[in-house]
C-alpha cells in the first residue's frame, strides 16, 4: 500500500482544533481509498516558541524536510508579547521561512460558494448564478515583490524616491502556466490569464508565454483579460471564471477579492506548490484565514477550510483525485444537509442547524 509522509503543523489559536478535524477526515479517506498517511505533528508559531524558543523549531523543519507535504494550520497571536522583534514573530519566522525553504512558487486559492450559502455572499443573488466556483492561481516568487532594484533613495530636502521593479523570465511564466493549465484540466477546462499587456512589458511577455504554453493543452479554452477588467468582472459576473492565472501582485489582490465572494474565511483552503519529483509535488496546504483568537478554544471555528486544504493536498501533491473529490463532496453534503458553524449560520435559513467544530468534522468524516 502506498504511504505518504505528512508534516502536520497545527500552530496557534484555532489551528489545533481545525487540524484535528482535518486529520479525522483524512483518516476516513485512508480507510476508504486504501492508502496510508504517515502524519507527524510538529510545533510551529507560538507553540514553537513555547517548545523551543523559536517559531520554527529545528525539529519541526527537520520533520518537514523528511515529509512529502506540509499540512499547516495558522500562526500568530497578536496579543502575545508585542516586544518580540518582528523578524522573530511567527508570521515571518515560520511562514515566510517555510515558503522560502521549500521553493513554493504556485499558490492555488479555490473559492467555492454553494448556492445554498448564497446568504453568506456579499453579491446580489442574481449575480451568483448556480453558485460561484473559481480557482485563482498566483505566481508566488517573482514580479514586483522580489524584483531588483528595490529601494528607497533619499533625494534630499525631505524627498525620497521609492523603487520597485517588476521582473519575470520566460521559465518563471512557463512553470506557473503549466500548473494553471493542469488545474484547469481537472476542472471546467477554462483558463483566464490576467495581465496588463496594454501598459506593461511584463504583461506582453506574460501573454505571449501563456499563449504558447496553452498550445500543449488544446482541451483547455484560454482567454486573456486586463487586470482592471478582471477585478471588475469578478464583481459583475463571477460565474464566467473557472481558473484565473495571475502574476504575484495581481494574484495577491484578486485572490482576496475572490475570497470575499466565498462567504467566510472558514470555508477557504489554499495550496502552495513547490517542485515536482516523479508523480509527487511538494506542497504546503493551509486555510486562507488566520488563528482567529476571538473564537479559539470554544469549538466555534469552521474546520472546512482546513479539511478542504487536506483535499487539495491529496489532489495536487499525491494525485489522489478520487479521495480529494470524496472529501469535497462530503463537505458539500454536510452543507446541503444544513450543518452550519456560526460563521455561515443564518437564523433565517430554514433547516439549518448550528453546530460546533467537532460536530462539523464528524459529519464530514462520516460521509467520507
Ligand atoms: P483571522 O483570519 O484570524 O480572523 C478574522 C476573522 O475571521 C475573525 O473574526 C475570525 O473569527 C474569523 N475566522 C477566521 N477563520 C475562521 C474559521 N475557520 N471559522 C470561523 N471564523 C473564522 O485574522 P486576524 O484576526 O486578522 O489575525 C489573527 C492572527 O492570525 C494574527 O496574528 C495574524 O497575523 C494571523 N494570521 C495568520 C495567517 C497564517 O498563519 N497563514 C493568516 C492570516 C492571519
Q: Return the pLDDT at 194.
A: 98
Q: Which residue among 62, 81, 223, 228 is the active-site one?
A: 228
| Residues found in the chain | 368
Asked if residue 294 has its Cβ within 6 Å of ligand 1, the reply is yes
Q: Return the pLDDT at 92.
A: 85
Asked if residue 324 has its Cβ within 6 Å of ligand 1, the reply is no
66 given a catalytic annotation: no
Q: Return the pLDDT at 215.
A: 98
252 given a catalytic annotation: yes
Asked if residue 312 has its Cβ within 6 Å of ligand 1, the reply is no
**Whole-structure pTM value:** 0.93
Nearest by Cα to 249 from 211, 215, 206: 206
The Cβ of residue 320 has, within 10 Å, a number of other Cβ atoms equal to: 22
Q: Return the pLDDT at 114.
A: 87
Q: Return the pLDDT at 75.
A: 97
pLDDT digit of tens for each residue in the chain (368 aa)?
899 999 999 999 999 999 999 999 999 999 899 999 999 999 999 999 999 999 999 999 999 999 999 999 999 999 998 888 988 999 889 988 898 899 999 999 999 998 889 988 999 999 999 889 999 999 999 999 889 999 999 999 999 999 999 999 999 999 999 999 999 999 999 999 999 999 999 999 999 999 999 999 999 999 999 999 999 999 999 999 999 999 999 999 999 999 999 988 999 999 999 999 898 999 999 999 999 999 999 999 999 999 999 999 999 999 999 999 999 999 999 999 999 999 999 888 889 999 999 999 999 999 99
151 given a catalytic annotation: no
Distance CA 362, CA 196 (A): 46
Q: Which residue among 41, 164, 252, 362 is the active-site one?
A: 252
Q: Return the pLDDT at 366.
A: 97
pLDDT in tens, 190-223: 999 999 999 999 999 999 999 999 999 999 999 9
Amino acid at each position: 500500500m502506498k504511504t505518504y509522509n505528512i508534516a502536520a503543523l497545527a500552530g496557534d489559536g484555532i489551528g489545533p482544533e481545525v487540524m484535528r478535524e482535518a486529520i479525522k477526515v483524512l483518516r476516513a479517506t485512508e480507510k476508504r481509498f486504501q492508502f496510508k498517511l504517515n502524519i507527524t505533528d510538529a510545533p510551529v508559531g507560538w507553540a514553537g516558541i513555547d517548545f523551543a524558543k523559536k517559531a520554527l523549531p529545528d525539529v519541526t523543519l527537520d520533520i518537514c524536510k523528511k515529509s512529502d507535504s506540509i499540512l499547516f494550520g495558522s500562526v500568530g497571536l497578536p496579543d502575545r508579547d508585542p516586544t518580540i522583534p518582528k523578524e522573530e514573530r511567527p508570521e515571518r519566522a515560520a511562514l515566510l521561512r517555510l515558503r522560502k525553504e521549500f521553493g513554493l512558487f504556485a499558490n492555488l486559492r479555490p473559492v467555492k460558494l454553494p448556492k445554498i450559502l448564497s446568504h453568506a455572499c456579499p453579491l446580489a443573488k442574481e449575480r451568483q448564478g448556480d453558485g460561484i466556483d473559481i480557482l485563482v492561481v498566483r505566481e508566488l516568487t517573482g514580479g514586483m515583490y522580489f524584483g531588483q532594484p528595490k529601494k528607497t533613495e533619499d533625494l534630499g530636502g525631505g524627498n525620497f524616491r521609492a523603487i520597485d521593479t517588476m521582473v519575470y523570465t520566460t521559465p518563471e511564466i512557463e512553470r506557473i502556466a503549466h500548473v494553471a493549465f493542469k488545474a484547469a484540466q481537472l476542472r471546467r477546462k477554462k483558463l483566464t490569464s490576467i495581465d496588463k499587456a496594454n501598459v506593461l512589458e511584463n504583461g506582453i511577455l506574460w501573454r505571449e508565454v501563456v499563449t504558447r504554453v496553452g498550445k500543449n493543452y488544446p482541451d483547455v479554452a484560454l482567454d486573456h483579460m486586463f487586470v482592471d477588467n478582471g477585478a471588475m468582472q469578478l464583481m459583475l459576473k463571477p460565474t464566467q471564471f473557472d481558473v484565473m492565472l495571475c502574476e504575484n501582485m495581481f494574484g495577491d489582490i484578486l485572490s482576496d477579492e475572490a475570497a470575499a465572494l466565498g462567504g467566510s474565511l472558514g470555508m477557504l483552503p489554499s495550496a502552495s506548490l513547490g517542485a515536482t519529483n516523479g508523480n509527487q509535488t511538494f506542497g504546503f496546504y493551509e486555510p486562507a484565514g488566520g488563528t482567529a483568537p476571538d473564537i479559539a478554544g470554544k469549538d466555534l471555528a469552521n474546520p472546512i477550510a482546513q479539511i478542504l486544504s487536506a483535499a487539495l493536498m491529496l489532489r495536487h501533491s499525491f494525485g489522489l483525485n478520487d479521495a480529494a473529490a470524496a472529501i469535497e463532496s462530503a463537505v458539500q453534503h454536510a452543507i446541503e444537509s444544513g450543518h452550519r458553524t456560526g460563521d455561515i449560520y443564518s437564523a433565517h435559513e430554514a433547516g439549518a442547524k448550528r453546530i460546533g467544530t467537532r460536530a462539523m468534522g464528524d459529519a464530514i468524516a462520516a460521509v467520507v
